[in-house]
């Protein structure tokens, strides 16, 4: 069995520790609901990290609620859930500090305690003595250990503190280790470090304390990934980061880039075998939840990360792609793209079709012609703002249309209208009227809702349900809207993704338009149409 084939103990000799839900959530513009946090925790677990830090129980109602719901709703396959908190307040016993109690009661088996290790921060921010701060670290770690928790300590501002007062910074680590902390993560809280400094200090700490050391880096110098890797090379065996490099200011270390450097560049497996190949999908799925548009230039997982402008490179890429790529993009679940040629596009259309059960083999001239036609349509639609990556159902409808020559349709739409109204400052109400024809019958239905899309959805499903009773089982379960070309005001294009369920499974459709209601209408109608089509329902009349 080679090293790579041995099952890894993700909570063992080396940890990958995700702090997206806590430190990542500090990012400007990022505002996660409890449902969002649970969804992100599940996605990050799929990446195979050892720990998912869920938040700071007791510090705000949302994080408390997260840990409450996590007990029953979060079934992590790989990761252990960790709760973030602080050392006890000055002058009180750890057992009497409600925030420490909240950590104990969070249900997380691991607590990560932030501790001050910079003498001036102790005096100016905590406003206590250096000795009391040491006692706070010692007491809190010992108390939580006695309650049966695994305890990590985040040594805040460690690198700056170490440079200013090495002896005191090491005393803080000593207090943590003596009281039973499993490890101390050295935090470059202000993010001002460069890799050689990090490497030197980590090596010094490992040699001096003999304790287990981790790294928590911020990207203020643009070096968070390099700083994290330098720390690991200097002896750190626990590395923290955030998916998509989320975080306050310039963000935290990008977890995928750090892991990729360790696994692919330094040949040190730190995730379960094959997990890194899911990185692109997971990073993009998390971006859907946070609604922070993914950065196309993001290392490894960005849509441009393996995109090559044709020309100088194109012929050589054909001979040997490795000549122009630092790694095989499949290793992180990404794809090579040639920006001018549609080669890559055709291949993925073919694959996608096969995934959906359509034989789009390009071996026959007809197959090749079909794939070319679908590729062209996808390209045109994507240039108008459509996206088919998430909207499988809309893609399948397009495929059926190209294969059979006709788009599945169950009704003729005469017109639709939505009125949203507010009187005397009262709550706004929406009312939608849909007029359809099915099998020669004219159907007119009015629906109400607390928003235009809600009202339209009610009216459309009721109207179609009169001709197709199967529609009665369909429910709209998710609605996402994104303005494309931000900066152009409301003239910009709106893209709507809608998820429809029949109670057993669900499917996603996409609509695009200058008008948000029109974009929603397209996605709603596709949602119902696809549900009927997939159920094998035949159009009436």
Residue bearing tokens 């639709």: 416
Give the distance, in angstroms, between the CA of residue 236 and the centroid of all CA atoms in the same chain. Answer: 26
Residue 278, judged by CB atoms within 10 A of its CB (0-12, 13-18, 19+), counts as: middle
* Residue whose CB is less far from its own copies, 105 or 220: 220
When binding is defined by CB under 8 A, the residue of 6, 146, 296, 364 that contacts its own copies is 296
Shortest distance (Å) from residue 64 CB to its own copies: 13
Q: Which residues pair with 442 in a beta bridge?
A: 437
| Alpha carbon distance 218, 195 (integer Å) | 12
* Residue whose CB is less far from its own copies, 5 or 491: 491
Shortest distance (Å) from residue 59 CB to its own copies: 8
* Residue whose CB is less far from its own copies, 183 or 193: 193
CA distances in angstroms from 117 to 43, 164, 253, 355, 390, listed in the order given: 33, 10, 21, 53, 45
Pairing of strands 213-217, 238-241: parallel
When binding is defined by CB under 8 A, the residue of 87, 298, 375, 529 that contacts its own copies is 298
| Alpha carbon distance 340, 336 (integer Å) | 12
| Alpha carbon distance 204, 226 (integer Å) | 18
| Alpha carbon distance 41, 509 (integer Å) | 25
State yes or no: residue 19 binds its own copies (CB under 8 A).
Answer: no
* Residue whose CB is less far from its own copies, 24 or 177: 24
State yes or no: residue 234 binds its own copies (CB under 8 A).
Answer: no
Mask of contacts with its own copies, 82-121, x by CB under 8 A? Answer: ------------------------------------x-xx
Shortest distance (Å) from residue 146 CB to its own copies: 26
Shortest distance (Å) from residue 477 CB to its own copies: 6
When binding is defined by CB under 8 A, the residue of 43, 453, 460, 467 that contacts its own copies is 453
State yes or no: residue 405 binds its own copies (CB under 8 A).
Answer: no
∠434-440-442 over CA atoms, to 5°?
Answer: 25
Shortest distance (Å) from residue 27 CB to its own copies: 7
Residue 214, judged by CB atoms within 10 A of its CB (0-12, 13-18, 19+), counts as: buried
If residue 85 lies in a helix (H) or strand (E), which one and from where to where? strand 80-86
The HSE-up count of residue 242 (CA atoms within 13 Å, CB side) is 27
**DSSP, residue by residue, 432-463:** EEEEEEETTEEEEEEEEESSHHHHHHHHHHHH
When binding is defined by CB under 8 A, the residue of 135, 307, 381, 403 that contacts its own copies is 307
Q: Give the E-state strand segments of 218-320 in sequence order.
A: 238-241, 307-308
Footprint on residues 467-486 left by its own copies (CB under 8 A): 475-486
When binding is defined by CB under 8 A, the residue of 128, 250, 361, 462 that contacts its own copies is 250
When binding is defined by CB under 8 A, the residue of 167, 383, 404, 505 that contacts its own copies is 383
When binding is defined by CB under 8 A, the residue of 4, 131, 207, 316 that contacts its own copies is 316
* Residue whose CB is less far from its own copies, 44 or 234: 234
* Residue whose CB is less far from its own copies, 106 or 298: 298
When binding is defined by CB under 8 A, the residue of 451, 466, 470, 539 that contacts its own copies is 451
Footprint on residues 482-511 left by its own copies (CB under 8 A): 482-492, 494
Footprint on residues 61-80 left by its own copies (CB under 8 A): 61-62
The window from 46-54, 90-98, 166-174, 307-315 that contacts its own copies (CB under 8 A) reads: 307-315
| Helical segments of 223-278, H only | 224-233, 255-260
Q: 511 and 523 in contact (C-beta within 8 Å)?
A: yes
Shortest distance (Å) from residue 126 CB to its own copies: 9
Footprint on residues 21-60 left by its own copies (CB under 8 A): 26-29, 31, 33, 35-36, 39, 59-60
* Residue whose CB is less far from its own copies, 264 or 403: 264
| Alpha carbon distance 52, 55 (integer Å) | 9
The window from 12-20, 226-234, 398-406, 460-468 that contacts its own copies (CB under 8 A) reads: 226-234
Footprint on residues 363-382 left by its own copies (CB under 8 A): none
The window from 88-96, 312-320, 367-375, 463-471 that contacts its own copies (CB under 8 A) reads: 312-320
Footprint on residues 161-200 left by its own copies (CB under 8 A): 189-192, 194-196
How would you write 112-124 as a 3-class SS string? EEEEECCHHHHHH
Q: 192 and 220 in contact (C-beta within 8 Å)?
A: yes
* Residue whose CB is less far from its own copies, 78 or 117: 117
Pair of tokens at residue 454: 């809600």
| Alpha carbon distance 304, 284 (integer Å) | 13
Site for its own copies (CB under 8 A): how many residues?
136
Shortest distance (Å) from residue 390 CB to its own copies: 6
State yes or no: residue 1 binds its own copies (CB under 8 A).
Answer: no
Nearest to 214 by CA among 82, 105, 75, 104: 82
∠431-433-435 over CA atoms, to 5°?
Answer: 170
When binding is defined by CB under 8 A, the residue of 146, 208, 441, 515 that contacts its own copies is 515
Q: Which residues pair with 51 in a beta bridge?
A: 17, 80
Footprint on residues 251-280 left by its own copies (CB under 8 A): 251, 254, 257, 260-261, 265-266
Q: At what angle do helices 195-209 and 166-178 cross, to 10 degrees?
A: 50
Q: Which residues pair with 114 in a beta bridge?
A: 86, 154
State yes or no: residue 128 binds its own copies (CB under 8 A).
Answer: no
Footprint on residues 411-430 left by its own copies (CB under 8 A): 413-425, 427-430
């Amino acid at each position: 069995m080679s090293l790579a084939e041995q099952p890894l103990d993700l909570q063992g000799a080396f940890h990958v520790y995700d702090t997206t839900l806590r430190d990542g959530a500090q990012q400007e513009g990022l505002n996660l609901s409890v449902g969002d946090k649970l969804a992100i925790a599940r996605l990050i677990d799929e990446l195979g990290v050892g720990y998912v830090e869920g938040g700071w129980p007791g510090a705000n109602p949302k994080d408390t609620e997260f840990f409450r719901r996590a007990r029953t709703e979060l079934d992590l396959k790989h990761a252990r859930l960790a709760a973030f908190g602080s050392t006890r307040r000055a002058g009180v016993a750890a057992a009497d500090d409600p925030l420490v109690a909240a950590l104990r009661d969070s249900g997380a088996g691991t607590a990560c305690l932030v501790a001050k290790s910079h003498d001036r921060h102790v005096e100016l921010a905590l406003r206590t003595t250096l000795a009391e701060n040491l006692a706070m670290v010692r007491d809190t770690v010992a108390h939580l250990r006695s309650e049966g928790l695994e305890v990590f300590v985040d040594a805040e501002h460690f690198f700056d503190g170490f440079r200013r007062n090495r002896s005191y910074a090491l005393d803080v680590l000593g207090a943590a280790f003596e009281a039973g902390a499993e490890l101390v993560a050295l935090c470059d809280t202000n993010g001002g470090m460069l890799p050689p400094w990090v490497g030197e200090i980590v090596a010094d700490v490992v040699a001096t304390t003999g304790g287990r050391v981790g790294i928590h880096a911020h990207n203020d110098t643009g070096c968070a990934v390099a700083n994290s890797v330098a720390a690991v090379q200097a002896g750190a065996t626990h590395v923290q980061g955030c998916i998509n490099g989320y975080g306050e200011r310039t963000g935290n270390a990008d977890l995928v880039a750090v892991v990729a450097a360790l696994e692919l560049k330094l040949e040190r497996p730190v995730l379960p075998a094959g997990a890194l190949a899911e990185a692109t999908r997971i990073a993009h799925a998390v971006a859907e939840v946070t609604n922070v548009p993914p950065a196309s230039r993001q290392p490894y997982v960005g849509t441009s990360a393996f995109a090559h402008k044709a020309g100088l490179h194109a012929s050589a890429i054909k001979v040997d792609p490795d000549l122009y790529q630092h790694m095989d993009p499949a290793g992180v679940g990404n794809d090579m793209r040639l920006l001018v040629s549609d080669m890559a596009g055709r291949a993925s259309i073919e694959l996608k079709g096969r995934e959906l059960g359509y034989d789009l083999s390009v071996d026959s001239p007809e197959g090749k012609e079909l794939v070319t036609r679908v590729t062209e349509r996808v390209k045109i639609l994507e240039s108008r703002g459509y996206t088919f990556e998430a909207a499988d159902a809309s893609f399948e409808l397009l495929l059926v249309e190209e294969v059979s020559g006709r788009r599945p349709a169950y009704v003729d739409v005469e017109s639709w209208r939505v009125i949203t109204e507010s009187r005397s400052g009262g709550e706004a109400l929406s009312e939608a009227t849909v007029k359809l024809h099915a099998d020669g019958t004219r159907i007119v239905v009015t629906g109400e809702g607390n928003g235009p899309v809600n009202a339209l959805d009610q009216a459309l499903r009721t109207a179609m349900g009169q001709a197709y009773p199967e529609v009665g089982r369909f429910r709209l379960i998710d609605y996402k809207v994104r303005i494309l070309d931000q900066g152009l005001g409301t003239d910009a294009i709106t893209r709507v993704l809608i998820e429809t369920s029949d109670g057993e499974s669900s499917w996603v459709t996409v609509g695009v338009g200058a008008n948000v209601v029109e974009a929603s209408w397209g996605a709603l109608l596709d949602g119902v149409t696809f549900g009927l089509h997939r159920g094998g329902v035949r159009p009436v009349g």
